[in-house]
Structure 1
Amino acid sequence: MSTPQAMLPAVRRPGTIMAALIATLVSAAAGVAAAITVFAGGTNMVKSLLEDPAVQARLGLSDDLLKTAQDLGGDLYQQVLDQAYATLSARAVFGAVLAVLLLVFAVLALGAALWARILITVVGLVAVSLQLLVVTDVATSSMKLFGLLVVASTVVAIVLWWLPANGRYAKAAARLPHA
């Protein structure tokens, strides 16, 4: 004889799952914000980056060299700007896709399923790697800020998703009969 479902004890979702979800949401929002920063800035953002003395020194450029490049061929200079913007845009698109994937997998992981937590971990580590590249490469201060926020919140989220309470919750929820 089976026990009626109403008599079975309810399994409470631990607060660590909601904390992990919030950390993942922060990561996804910061990833999308970083992408928006790139698209809103366009090639003008690249021009302003190239005018920064710190960026010039890092790239081995100078104001004189950039001025000469502009004077010799405006089209050539524009191609350089377009190529740099294309690189930043590709990173932004990849970052936005990773942010959406993190969001989707986080919603799917509300039941603390092992496969969903594994996917969050893998996608999260790729997102962290990408944002570390952005932070350590030539980028605006807002791109670096959002990148650091993605790194920090994703690391926190990954740790929270793997806390023992979540595993116990997943096992307890799996033992309950499904309606």
Structure 2
Amino acid sequence: MTTSQAMLPTVRQPGTIMAALIATLVSVAAGVAAAITVYAGGTDMVKSLLSDPDVQARLGLSDDLLNAAKELGGDLFQQVLDQAYGTLSARAAFALVLAVLLLVFGVLARGAALWARILVTVFGVIAISLQLLVVTDIATSSMKLFGLLVILSTVVAVVLWWLPANGRYAKARKAAQN
């Protein structure tokens, strides 16, 4: 260590980085919880969704039509359930991938590196878009609740990652390393 390096002040991490990381972790946990809700519910969850009058009205269905479909052929009705579950399952898998990416890049962004904050932002915006689809589409109340939590915590996280203190910290760290 040279004399000039020893004289440089220690760079302190701002609290906004820890707050951003916590908000990112809340988003990750909510995204995983929403996916688990889908996988744990299975096609039974889809059946319960189809029994909801609001969902039926949104899909242009009625109890009579659903009962007729069940009577005509259980296999046909099961295919409809499987297809609807497949859609929800694909969204859940995508949510899990996004949660993992947010976790990885959130942890890597602790040093406030620009590239890591950009990737957290990009994957955060994608996660928000996915959860907006979940919240506005046909889903259980718990899926919608977790989706709203992902949206809110991700917005907070992205804002926190881009606060000026984090940029100054990244620049100071880079200068201290050179």
* Bin of the TM-score, shorter chain as denominator length: over 0.9
- In the other structure, the counterpart of 1:122 is 122
Distance 2:123 2:67 in 1: 42
- In the other structure, the counterpart of 1:100 is 100
Q: CA RMSD in A?
A: 1.2
- In the other structure, the counterpart of 2:82 is 82
Is 1:72 matched with 2:72?
Answer: yes
SS of 2:12's partner is coil
- In the other structure, the counterpart of 1:24 is 24
Q: TM-score, normalised by structure 1?
A: 0.97
Letter in 2 for 1:46: V
Letter in 1 for 2:28: A
How far does the alpha carbon of each residue in 1:59-114 deviate from its partner, in whole angstroms, 9 at most, with x for none?
00000000000000110000000000000000000001101100100000000000
- In the other structure, the counterpart of 2:144 is 144
Distance 2:129 2:4 in 1: 49
Q: Tell me the number of residue pairs that the alignment of Structure 1 and Structure 2 aligns.
A: 178
Instruction: Tell me by how many angstroms 1:4 deviates.
Output: 5.6
Consecutive unaligned residues of structure 2, counting only runs of 5 or more, are none
SS of 2:23's partner is helix
How far does the alpha carbon of each residue in 1:109-151 deviate from its partner, in whole angstroms, 9 at most, with x for none?
0000000000000000000000000000000000000000000
Distance 1:82 1:108 in 2: 39
Distance 1:36 1:82 in 2: 17
Letter in 1 for 2:81: L
Letter in 1 for 2:96: A
Consecutive unaligned residues of structure 1, counting only runs of 5 or more, are none
Is 1:3 matched with 2:3?
Answer: yes
- In the other structure, the counterpart of 1:170 is 170
